[in-house]
Every structure is written in structure tokens, then in C-alpha cells.
Amino acid sequence: MALSDYVKGAFLLQHYNFNIGVVANQDDVTSYGGLVVPENGSIVQIGVGYLTEGGTGPSLTATLLRQATALISAVAITADVPVLATGNVPVHRGELLTLNIATANADNDFTGASVVVTMRIPFEDD
């Protein structure tokens, strides 16, 4: 039996970390980074969290976009409680995806903000 018979249906998970740090007094959506998709696959998770919060009704939203189209989004509303959102969004090698961060209110402050994007890349058959 060939090795490829054992790996059919197998996949690799890649994690991309965006350590934002401090988000303060932001009253709109800001683009924080980009991700060039390394291989054909799927975005399967986005996670967002922060260590401390301040302001009125704080929440932090992380959204991954393809141009103006939102692909997957997660909202954290409690300090030190990261949130994962799952999906299965097909992406293609060389695509540029944008990471946007939004706060609920202009007086929201966050420290230790971080976002993780997880991509599933299938192994190719021989």
C-alpha cells in the first residue's frame, strides 16, 4: 500500500497570530493586518481575546475579509475569556485577506488584544 493511501483525507492546520497589543479609544473599524494565503484550503477558525478592558459596554470584534466581504468574525465581550468562531471558508493560494478590528464604543480600551486565524490545508494526493 502506498503512503498516499494512508494520508488521504489528512490535512494540516496552520495558525496565524496577530498580537494587536493595545486598542484604545477607537470609534470605527481599523484594518490591522493582512494575510496572504499560502496554499489552497479553508479558514476554519478565528479567535479574539484581550486581557483587560475599559469603557462603556466593551467588546472587541475581529473580522477576516476578502476585499469588502466578511468571511468569518468573532466577538469577545469579557476580559481574559477568548472567543473562537468556526466556519469553513474556501480560500485560494495568493489571496490577500484583511483583518479588521472594531470596538463597540468610542471609549473602549483593551490591552493584550490578540487574534488567531486557523487555516486547514489538505495534503495533496500523489
Domain locations along the chain: 28-114
Overall size of the chain counted in residues:
126
Rounded to whole angstroms, the Cα distance separating 65 from 35 reads 10
Q: Are 60 and 76 in contact (CB under 8 A)?
A: yes
Rounded to whole angstroms, the Cα distance separating 25 from 22 reads 10
Q: Tell me, what's the pLDDT at 122?
A: 84
Local confidence band at 126 (pLDDT 50, 70, 90 cut-offs): very low
Q: Is it the case that residue 18 has pLDDT exceeding 90?
A: no
Residue 107: left if φ>0, alpha if ψ -120 to 50, beta else—which one? Answer: alpha
Rounded to whole angstroms, the Cα distance separating 6 from 25 reads 52
Assigned CATH class of 28-114: mainly beta
Rounded to whole angstroms, the Cα distance separating 97 from 115 reads 14
More confident residue, 86 or 12: 86
Rounded to whole angstroms, the Cα distance separating 12 from 116 reads 16
Give tens-digit pLDDT for 22-40: 777 665 667 778 889 988 9
Give tens-digit pLDDT for 43-90: 999 999 999 999 888 999 999 999 999 999 999 999 999 999 999 999
Give tens-digit pLDDT for 92-122: 999 999 998 888 888 888 888 899 999 998 8
> Quick one: 46 exposed, middle or buried, by C-beta within 10 A (0-12, 13-18, 19+)?
buried
**DSSP code of residue 40:** S
Q: Tell me, what's the pLDDT at 104?
A: 86
pTM score of the predicted model: 0.82
